[in-house]
Structures are given as structure tokens and as C-alpha cells.
Amino acid sequence: MKPSTTLVSAGRNPRRHAGAVNVPAFRASTITAPDLAAWEASRTRRFEKDAVVYGRFGTPASQALEEAVAAIEGADRAVSVSSGMAACASAILSLVKAGDHVLLPDNVYQPVRAFANGFLAPFGVEATFYDPLVGAGIAALMKPNTRLLYLEAPGSQTMEMPDIPALVAEAKARAIRTAMDNTWGTPLLFRPLDHGVDLSINAATKYLVGHSDAMLGTIAMREELFERVKTVATAHLGICAGSEEIYLGLRGMRTMAVRLEKQGKSAFAVARWFQTRPEVERVLYPALPEDPGHAVWKRDFKGASGLFSVVFKPMDKAALARFVDGLEHFGIGASFGGYESLVLPFEPSHYRTVTTWTSKGPCLRFHIGLEDVDDLLEDLERGFARMRAAA
């Protein structure tokens, strides 16, 4: 089955819900048993795919979502959690304990860096940040107690594309587990498990939900890791996704393929256009042939999503504000993956620690939504005109 068909059909069985096309929201905490024997039996079944024993452990709706996510990820099982960050933290905590060492890319999603420094470190887990472009050189950073190699591709904001197969091969050679934040690509453009990664993390808040109206995260894996991840996320940390969010995730994913295809195409057109602008120093987007990560991206990914960054030539803050503030179709906000376009300033030099990333001018991250490209380009053109007008 092709991925777009899987997205439409996985986890969905209208006959189970009086013929309704969508899996209805399922609100439950207490699940009552018909008799004592059934109650006792349910205790031992709680990791089974269709076991409904208590709301936090899963409902028919969260199981439908997890079944669908596992199907598009090429995984055996998935765990749904309350946000993308909950997925990142639960995945990491499932694979490490006190005394362990983890490797994280220097361009990792910033809250994961903060989690490593502010949460893992006090619990005795040491983190080393690595150059995302280190490739097989990662071996030199691996210690006898390294238990986890964490990946993100492309990395947040600066969009460097790591050589995933090279990194995973070095981890595998030493029996080190791997987890990858695959939010940018979604399983439609890259399936981490197909490339030997142990845990595939998706901030489903972004493209899976697709409408900027729900927080949701997923972790996909082979059967052997399921019980561990589910125990850490759901039993120990008490993390589960809300019923409304599960409903919105399931509904959103049905259209993810068409959204992502259009957003990737539009983003490429807008990124190309930025490359022609005199105000722009560099566009950071692996789909562009000039991008240093292009060859690796082309080898490993099936396409590009709608998120890229732009490094501008030096300009004062007021000029940047004139450009950004007047944009009609670009909301100023964090996150991405919704149907609407966004813009966000960032300063990599503020948080990177092992690789120097300098730019003389300001940086903006753009997310391209489902608006018509001509309208977006006109909007950006007007922004540059305003920037110049007051100069």
C-alpha cells in the first residue's frame, strides 16, 4: 500500500462506530470490568494492542491513532503522548539511566538541549553535543557508557543535514541505541526505522495534526522496545494524549500527504525566490541544490517539507521589523506544520556550544502554508519594499 492510502485507511474501521467515517473521540478514565476474573486478566494485558484497562493506558481512539502512526512509520508499535516535547523526553528517558552518556546534535531542538542540561544532568546522565556534520567521526565521541545517540534531521533552525546512515552505523557497531526527531520530514519523507533507528519521534503537533490546533507527540518503534517506552511514558511519567487531541491527530493525518506535497513545492518556490533577493545572504533548505546538505538529503529523503531558514545581509533591527511586521500572510509564531505560513526570528549563536555558527545579518525561519505561492511572494515583495522605503 502506498503511504497516502495508508494515511487514509490505517486505524479506521467505520463498522466499529455505526458506520461513522472518523474514529470518534473516546473520553474515558475508569474502565469497568464485567467481573473480577476479567479485571484480574486485564492487569496482565495492558501492553497488548487492543487492551483497554484504564484511560491513561489507552482507549480505542488512541489505539487507532497509534496503529495508524505505526503503519506510516513502518513500525510495529507507537505510543501517543501529550506533545512533541513529551515524545522527545520520554524517548530519551526510555533509553538512559544514571551513569549513562548521551550524544545530542549541536543543532538539536533547543528545549531538548535544555532538558539534557537541566533535567538529565542532575539525574546523573551526561550529555555531549556533537557537530551534526561529524558523520562517522561520531565514533571518537562515543564512550564505554554511551547509551544513546540522538538525531534530528535537518537540525532545528540552521537546517544542517546529518549523514544519518553513517551516524547510525557507528552506534549500531557499539550496541548504542538511536532515537531521531523526524518532525521536519514526517514518516512520509523519511522513515527512521527503515534506516536502523530505534525510536522515531514525531512532534505530531506539526504536520500530523496540520491545523495548529492541538498538541500531540508520537514515538514509533519495533515491538521489542514498546513495553519499555510505554512504561516510562505512561506508567512512570503519567503522560498520555488527551481525547480531543487524539481525535484531531487522527483527522489531521488523513490529509497529511496532500498538504505536505503542496507545502514542499511552495516552500521550494519561495526559497528559490529568496535566493534571488539582494537582501539575502543565504537560504538554508536542503532541497536547494546549492545547500551543503543537498546530496545527503537527496540520497535519504523522499522530499522536503515547508520549513526553511533565511540568513539576511546585515541590517538594523528596525529594517527587519519593517519587513516582518507588515507581512499579511505570515504569522509571527513558533511551531510549524499547520496550513498557514509563519515567520520566526532566531539566533543560533545564542545556544550552540560545540560548532560555531555565525551570521553577520539576522536570521528568520519561514514555514510555508497552503496559501497560493503568488500571494506569498507578493506579500514578501511588499515587505522588502517597506523595508527599503524607510531606509
**Nearer CB in complex with ligand PLP: 104/215:** 215
Window 211 to 230, contacts with ligand PLP (CB under 6 A):
215, 217
**Nearer CB in complex with ligand PLP: 178/205:** 205
**Nearer CB in complex with ligand PLP: 59/156:** 156
**Which of 11, 84, 154, 338 touches ligand PLP by CB under 6 A?**
84
Amino acid at position 316, single letter:
D
183 binds ligand PLP (CB under 6 A): yes
Give least dist CB 203 to ligand PLP, A.
Answer: 3
Q: Which residues are catalytic?
A: 56, 109, 181, 206
**Nearer CB in complex with ligand PLP: 317/350:** 350
Window 329 to 348, contacts with ligand PLP (CB under 6 A):
334-335
**Which of 80, 94, 146, 156 touches ligand PLP by CB under 6 A?**
156
Binding track over 88-127 against ligand PLP, x by CB under 6 A: x--------------------x------------------
d(CA 7, CA 207): 13
Query: Would you call 109 exposed, middle or buried from its count of C-beta atoms within 10 A (0-12, 13-18, 19+)?
Result: buried
d(CA 369, CA 340): 4
Amino acid at position 323, single letter:
F
**Nearer CB in complex with ligand PLP: 63/202:** 202
Give least dist CB 175 to ligand PLP, A.
Answer: 26
Name the segment binding ligand PLP (CB under 6 A); options: 9-17, 80-88, 117-125, 374-382: 80-88
Residues that bind ligand PLP (CB under 6 A): 83-85, 88, 109, 156, 181, 183, 203, 205, 215, 217, 334-335
